[in-house]
Amino acid sequence: MVVTVERLKKRFGTIEALKGISFEIEQGEIFGLIGPNGAGKTTSLRIISTLLKPDEGKVEVFGHDVLKEPHEVRKLISYLPEDAGAYKELTGLEYLKFVARFFAKEEKEFQAMLERGIQIANLRERLKSKVSTYSKGMTRRLLIARALMVNPKLAILDEPTSGLDVLNAREMRNIIKRFVNEGGTVLLSSHNMLEVEFLCDRIALINNGSIVEIGKPEELKQKYSASNIEEVFAEVVRCSGTC
């Protein structure tokens, strides 16, 4: 199992952000954690990425406990926060070189990593421009390239297509699928339920810190006689566990 989350809880003062959630992610799948803003998606991702410590529960990534072995976990993952930024005074190409140089152990690996980043970003001549001149969508493409170019075993992506137009978002979804086809695993969060429906193998619907449903998109739609996952979520929340 790539990720195992058991009875995970997290509080921020009086706010109970996570109320004992559990789920598992298998090798080679795209797993979506979806729900409205403030539901607990980003908190979950930050704990799995070792950036936050849980109050209760257990999280393992490839068998490594995120509390006991955070350094081992970080060797295996790449995390792209929704609010991530790049060094604005570097050109896009300089930024990708910086990332590749940091992760690559030898020159051959550096060159392969850099070429992969260039292909994923697909910014062509604009790679020679400073990041400070990029639109939000261009910056997001560069950051997705940064996250995937290092060939992590698990890519954790928070709102990966945020700021992208329809065509660029579609291309990024194809890049994510290609990453998985080449042996990777993806955990992503999004409030865009329709997008995730088309992208993910399985999804967990989270609301107010609790997972209210989990399964394959098609199975969930059949279960709730819904035409899309937004309708599933609305029905699950309406039922509040009583249906």
| Helix/strand/coil for 181 | helix
- Residue 222: pLDDT above 90? yes
How would residue 109 be classed by pLDDT, with cut points 50, 70 and 90?
A: very high
Homologous superfamily in CATH for domain 1-76+154-243:
P-loop containing nucleotide triphosphate hydrolases (3.40.50.300)
| Helix/strand/coil for 206 | strand
92 close to 127: Cβ distance less than 8 angstroms: yes
What does the pLDDT average to over 201-210? 95
- Residue 236: pLDDT above 90? no
pLDDT, residue 131, reads: 95
37 close to 189: Cβ distance less than 8 angstroms: no
pLDDT, residue 186, reads: 98
| Helix/strand/coil for 63 | coil
48 close to 189: Cβ distance less than 8 angstroms: no
Q: What is the pLDDT of residues 30-49, one digit of tens each?
A: 999 998 888 999 999 999 99
What does the pLDDT average to over 10-17? 95
What does the pLDDT average to over 180-203? 91
Pair of tokens at residue 210: 């609790």
- Residue 241: pLDDT above 60? no
The residues spanned by each domain of the chain are 1-76+154-243, 85-151
What does the pLDDT average to over 104-113? 95
